Chain A
Amino acid sequence: MSTTLLTGSEAAAYGAKLARIEVLAYYPITPAFPAMERVSKFIDDGDLKTRFVRVESDHSALAAALGASLAGSRTFTVTNSQGLLYMTEVVYHTAGLRQPVVMAVANRALSAPHSRFPEQGDAISQGASGWIQLFCENNQEVLDNMLQAFKIAETVRLPVMVNYEGYIQSHTLEEVEIPNQEKIDQFLPLNRVRTLDVDNPQGVNTVASPEFYMDYKFRQNEAMEQALTVICSVASDYAKEFGRDWSGLIETYQMEDAEHAFVAMGSMISDARIVVDELREKGQKIGLVKVRTWRPFPAEALREALKNVQLVTVCDKNIVYGLGGALGTEVKSALYGQTVRINSYVLGLGGRDVTTEEIKQVLELSEKTEKQTTASEWFGL
């Protein structure tokens, strides 16, 4: 193992390299493009024997990755925001065809108005698509989650998105430990399933009648539920092998005696750890719940983690118009029936800064707020 300074983009690219992807397809977009260029550079330098399909659009990028996956190759793509929305049709289709494609998403705000800055709205828009979604708090986790993503995807046969925020993560250098290739090869052996195979021909995606469609969807959802367990076991296997435990679905920090819990996902988590430490020192009984797996939604784990707190503050870097922050809404539904105060905040949209200072202010505001009158309150306007 060696430690080096990597951006989140590079960490994602190293993940793809260590996973020995066979086919790569992507269409350039900001801020995901440095990850794309890095994998291409690995190929150009002869460090990676991967076929690159230089497609003409995001839609075709996932289409090509899907075709390659159906033909039995491990495949990878990268995108965000408009690119992800443009490929949405294929996103759903890939999940329905149960193909273990892994996609890195450098989360970015959606147009209009046009924005190139970080936000989780793109990933949230795909929340019903049938993809497993992991959110990373730092660049090391980006790399580690990439490798776990392939393992999870190939085990439950569902595609996985690895989310990291544009710029905040994609363009920021951090120390990252790069695992040893042989050990990765053992952790992630080649697991070839050929659906399109001339030696074993089948018709793929024939029209499903009402008699069949719903049963397929039931099985697909069943796989999502199975993923709740698989994600945890893959995380602990990885921890045993590589010494880093990102936990499976959620991670709790300083929650043993906490009365107030901060719940969020993505880059806010690493800042929130600092805030929690600081407030603890001042004697506040505060803790942190990091949602690492957003899909499948870890409702059971959250209920367990939050059963003894009096106040839950959920922060969302996204907005579901007319409803509120996505995580806030879902935490509320997960805790239905438990007597706990839940305050939900929308903040940091389109790149507006969320630093330790903002997190402290939100927590303070939440403590003072007895009952929210809206589904989510906007913070930082």
Chain B
Amino acid sequence: MTGWLQSVHPQTLRVTALALVLALVILFFGSQIDNYYTARMFNRISTSVAIILLIAIGQALVVITRNIDLSVGSIVGFTAYLVGDLLVAQPDLHPLVVVAAAMALGTALGAVNGLLVAYGRVPAIIVTLGTLALYRTLLVEYSDARSITTANLPKWVVELPQATLFSIGNLDIRVTFAIALGVALVVHLALTRLRAARRLYAVGSNPDAAAIAGINAERVVFTAFLLSGALAGLAGFVFLARFGNITVVAGLGFELKSVAAVVVGGVNIFGGSGTVIGVVLGTTLVDVIDNSLTRWALVSEFWRDALLGMLILIAVAADTLMNRYLDRLRRRRHMSELSAGTAPLPRETG
């Protein structure tokens, strides 16, 4: 009965299991919430996924190198506010320039993390916990209690979240969602095909061996933080477009969400393994649950975070159990190969 399972790659199986859980969750909420299967709900979730996905992909790159980036939420808030401010001052800037500015700002903030972790050799959890607070405080200082409002933003920014690339039936594929999926595709291709990107896995898998193999581990880790910053910056811009009204608390809590998405998506928190497909599914699952709970009258705001935490624990436990089970299956298969062999039976002499 389990025969077919043996021929499937463990990563494929993990992704399939995740997709299955996602389907079950959607079915469950569909039965609990009125008007759940609507285009509105899809749009709502897909625009929200667009933001988290960008952050989670960056987070995954960092986690694969055996580090963590807790400052992503602050980077999102920081860029959202500053880019908003820039647009208020200069509404005629070309959209590409605006996006580039957001990513450059994120990259700069990521570079601070990267420098301290990779070259300063301070543990990532300490560095990014520090910059999480630091970037937020800088934002509070800079904003001087003002906030960005939709009214002051150029029209193209405000309309961006509604901009639709194409529609399938009455489901709209929004531009922001498409951008996030595009980034996911590019990173996926890079992680599986680009030789340089494989070094992320090597460094995360065994840093000592990486150094001996002639891999510049500092540069690899630094690059991961740069990319995480850049993607958080891009997410900051999308955040600005989606909400329009930006205060100093923008992006608060995204670090927890992105770590949850990454871990649920099967990226090993101790580094060395993880796939983008997993991250996409993990993000979607986390976000579907989060958004659906908001609509589910039975659950209070307070419980949403608790459920998110529980989901992380379940994901990690399920992953461990599944790996153990697969390992047993693989051994069983190897065994049947062994006994099909021609080796004679052991005998005892002497």
A and B part of one assembly: no
Interface residues, chain B, with chain A CB atoms under 8 Å away: none
